[in-house]
Amino acid sequence: MRWRLSASAACALVAAVLAAAQVLVAHRLGVNDWTVRGGSYAEYVDWDHPLTRSTWYPAASTLIASMITHRLFRRAPWSWRWLPPAAWLGSCLTAGPLLYGLASAAPEAGIGSGPSAAVRAVAVGGVIGLVAAMVALRRREAGAGLVTYILWVSLLEFARPWWWDRAPAFDPMLTEEVWAGGSGDRVVRASFLEAGGITAGLIGPVVVSGVVAVWAAARYGRRRSGVIAGVAGPLLLCSVYLTIDPGWGDQDSVQAALCWYAFLAVPIGLCSATIAATLAGAVARRVGADARRTR
């Protein structure tokens, strides 16, 4: 019992540090802005984006902290039952007060939202991370897929200040030619970067799903393992978006595009993971059979 309490305390501490670090770094970089304006003419303040991030940070922290502590304590039996709740508690104890303070300090309250909405988002995100952590600790291939996907989303999230307003010349789907105001010259601007980009929000997750599926299928020699690993990450992000208002009633809402990307990534990622896992499993079995014949 003492050993279990020590592991739970360590897990809660790791989750608390991860959650606080994400919130503070996002605030420092200006990623999680509580004055994001929405609507056709920026006529109201919309908190959909910061509330979505308030859900994502504790979810990611709970999952990663559970995985780290599980490894540090040498995969203790039945730890999938008691490590994730400890991580959820730790992430909520730090992310909740921090996000409540940031939301309270915002110049304007979001439509139908207040600082308490941030605390509710943290609690919901922690529960999502708790469920995902239980699955990850029970199925290693799912854990690999979830961790890889969290690292991908976190990379995009915290690198956003460097790519947000820059049109990537390598991807024509993200750019369009428009008339520059006053100069009369045609310039290229990013048409989908404000929505996270097709590359970042849809193509990237699908590629990540395929790569993880190949690794899991080759590692465990089963197509099912590859499919589980490939689709676990998109399901995690999709579950986060299901907890917030997608903004489909607003034709200019960026949040609606982000939700569509997250939803579409699930079936497309499932198809790519299935194909990739099937091919990888067949290759792994063929290599194993050749190795046995040569002995």
A 10 A CB-CB count for 238 gives 18
Report the amino acid identity of residue 112.
Answer: G
2 — pLDDT class (breaks 50, 70, 90): confident
Residue 75: burial class (beta carbons within 10 Å; 0-12, 13-18, 19+) = exposed
C-alpha to C-alpha distance for 128 and 2, rounded to whole angstroms:
28
The length of the chain, given as a count of residues: 295
State the CB neighbour count (10 A cutoff) for residue 251: 9
**pLDDT tens, residue by residue, 41-92:** 445 566 777 888 899 999 999 999 999 988 887 766 667 788 899 999 999 9
End-to-end alpha-carbon separation of the chain, Å?
48
**Predicted local confidence at residue 219, as pLDDT:** 82
**Alpha helices in 187-294, H assignment, sequence order:** 198, 204-220, 223-241, 254-293
Q: Averaging pLDDT over each range in 19-33, 122-136, 150-164, which range is the top one? A: 122-136
pLDDT band at 129 (very low <50, low <70, confident <90, very high): very high
Q: For residue 31, give the DSSP letter.
A: -
Name which of 83, 86, 68 is nearest 134 in CA terms: 83
Please give the torsion angle defined by the CA atoms of residues 119, 120, 126 and 128, in that order, rounded to the nearest 10 degrees: -160
pLDDT digits (tens, 9 = 90+) for 12-35: 999 999 999 999 998 888 788 787
Q: How many angstroms separate the CA atoms of 199 and 170, rounded?
A: 11
| pLDDT range class, residue 200, cuts 50, 70, 90 | low
Task: Indicate if the alpha-carbon torsion angle 48, 49, 51, 52 is positive or negative.
Answer: positive
d(CA 200, CA 262): 11
Euclidean distance between CA atoms 111 and 51, whole angstroms: 12
Q: Is the pLDDT of residue 173 over 60?
A: no
Please report where in the chains the tokens 């999952």 appear, as a residue. 63
**Count of Cβ atoms closer than 10 Å to residue 264 Cβ:** 16
DSSP annotation of 166 reads -
Average pLDDT over residues 127-152: 90
Half-sphere exposure for 158 (CA within 13 Å, toward CB): 15
pLDDT at 209 over 80: yes
- pLDDT value at 146 more than 70: yes
Say yes or no to pLDDT of 98 above 90.
Answer: yes
Percent of the chain with pLDDT over 70: 72
Q: Phi and psi at residue 174, in whole multiples of 5°?
A: -100, 0
Query: Whose CA is closest to 69, among 12, 143, 151?
Result: 12
Mention every residue, 6+ apart, whose C-beta is less than 8 A from residue 194: 164, 254
Average pLDDT over the chain, rounded to whole?
78
> What does DSSP assign to residue 5?
H
Q: Which residue has the higher pLDDT, 173 or 33?
A: 33
Task: State the average pLDDT over residues 128-147.
Answer: 90
**pTM, rounded to two decimals:** 0.80
Read off the pLDDT of residues 243-280 as tens digits, 9 standing for 90 and up.
Answer: 876 555 554 555 676 777 788 888 888 888 898 888 88
